Each structure stands twice: as C-alpha cells, then as structure tokens.
A = this chain, B = another copy of it.
Amino acid sequence: MSASIRLVIDCPDQVGLVAAVSEFLAAQSVNILEASHHTDQHLNRFFMRHEIEADSVALDINELREAFAKVAAKYDMEWSLRHSSEKRKVALLASHESHCLNDVLHRWHSGELYCDIPCIIANHEAMREYASWYKVPFHYIDFSDKPTAFAKIDELLSHYDIDLTVLARFMQIIPEAMCQKHAGKIINIHHSFLPSFAGAKPYQQAYDRGVKLIGATCHYVTSDLDEGPIIEQEVMRISHSDSAQDMVRKGKRCEVNALANGIRYHLEDRVIICQHKTVVFD
C-alpha cells in the first residue's frame, strides 16, 4: 500500500464543515483514498477522517499542518495529521498467558501491525522467551509490592517514550493516576463480552450463568475498571458440552482477534474517543 496522510477531526457540528475541509484538500490537489464522517446528533458533534495519498501532497507534513491549522481554528477542531510511515512506540504488558502476546508479536513481525515494539514488560518470567525470539527487550517486574511495580512500569514507559501501552492479558488493575496520565493510550483486552462478566474470572462467570455465547472486549483503560470506551468485541457460540477449558480455548480466539483489531484501528488513527464511547472508522 502506498504511503498516506491521515487527517482526523473531532469538532462541534455545523454547516459548512465538510465543505471547508474539502475545499482545503482540493486546493492542495490531493488524492483522497478514504473519507469517513459521523455526526453524533445527541452530542451535536462531528467526526471525520480522511486518508490522503502522500505522493499527491505537494507540501511537507509540517507545512500541511500549518496550512490546516487556520481551517481548524475557525471550526474549533481537535485534529491530527499524521503520515502513515510514522511508527508509534508500543509497549506490551503481559502476565503468564502467551496467546495475545504471541499474536500481537506475529502480526507486528509480519507487517500487519505497523509500529515499533521497544519493550515487553511482564510479571512472569515465562514471557521472556517470546521477547527474545522477537528480539524485543524484556523487563520482568516483581509484583510483590504493587506501587513499586507500577512506578517501575511508568518509568519504563517514559524511558522508551511509549505512545501506546497494550495490556495483553496483563491481569493487574492499573492505578488511577496512571490511567489518567495515559488517558486514551492504554488498550486492554477483557475476556468477556462487556458489560457482562466484568471483573475476575469471566469464563467461570459465563459458565456459571449458562450463556450460549462467550466473547472478548478490547477497550481503552480508564479508572473505572472494565468501563472504558469499547473499541471492538468478538463472540463465539458455546454449548452445555463446553467445559471451562473449552471456553478458555474458544475465548482465546475472540481475545486475539478483538485485540488485534483494536490495536490496528488505534495505530491507523481510526478510533476517536467520544466521552465513554468510540467512533471507529473501520
């Protein structure tokens, strides 16, 4: 795929917005590859994403930003302009389950997830072998003292200048201060179809309730546990004959797919957080 520039806009809705943006883009003679709009009529808010062929843009990206800033100011826009070749730095946090970690690493390695992964942090040594296979620095964190552990994690995120933290079945509750500091920059995969079965042991909860479908939810982390804005969900059919073990196996499939989509949408600037919900231009 050829390189592109992504223009993402979130602003109060009003007449003329689309025309103003389109005129701006036409004046630059750019070639639009994808364009998506959404108006939230309850919130009277407008969301827009353009993907522009990079080669069709005469200005460099900073000049383009400067030029667009005037349009943006007029309409009170929150906005970003990013070149698709810009690699964001993603930290993976894991515990003792490897399926999400392995899946993210493989998709990254094969080019499906476009980013850098400068570190893997885990509270179990078992994940070290994955890190070493993929030649990613590995940091084991001792969780016997949680505040210290999280302080170390935060230090690592700063050290590596991390843009996005992915909880790949990390299984630890992120402290409120860290949630706020990294708002919109921590993605979790929860192994249930939220809001069903929030909290601990969701497969056991699902087994006990006797549901006929299980699922997984990829969401941004906020200080309300399992209440953050949902990016993606997946489900699979189960029956009375599925043991807890079968449910775990089937659920893993939901987890890896929901997480992979969630990360990809984030990295491709396809997600806009709007209060406690998301707009996803997939």
Residues of A within 8 A of B (CB): 1, 15-16, 18-23, 25-27, 29-40, 56, 98-99, 102-103, 106, 110, 112, 133, 193-197, 209-213, 215, 229-233, 235, 237, 239-241, 243, 245, 249, 253, 257, 276-280, 282
Contacts and interface: CB of A to CB of B under 8 A. Distances in A.
Q: Which 4 pairs, one residue from A and one from B, show the smallest C-beta to C-beta distance?
A: A210-B277, A19-B26, A22-B22, A19-B22
A227 to B, nearest CB: 9
Contacts of A56: 15
Contacts of A37: 32, 34-35
B276 A210 contact: yes
Most B Cβ at <10 Å: residue of A193, A210, A215: A210
B1 A279 contact: no
Give the number of copies in the complex.
4
A18 B39 contact: no
Contact of A196 (B22, B23, B193): B193
B26 A16 contact: yes
Contacts of A194: 196, 211
B280 A239 contact: yes
Contacts of A34: 37, 241
Contact of A193 (B29, B193, B229): B193
A280 B240 contact: yes
B235 A213 contact: yes
5 contacts: A112-B249, A210-B276, A211-B233, A235-B235, A240-B279
A213 B213 CA distance: 12
A282 B241 CA distance: 10
Contacts of A18: 22, 25-26, 32, 35
B31 A1 contact: no
Contact of A22 (B23, B102, B249): B23
Contact of A210 (B106, B213, B230): B230
A230 B210 CA distance: 7
A110 B98 contact: yes
A257 B249 contact: no
Contact of A241 (B38, B212, B243): B38
A181 to B, nearest CB: 23
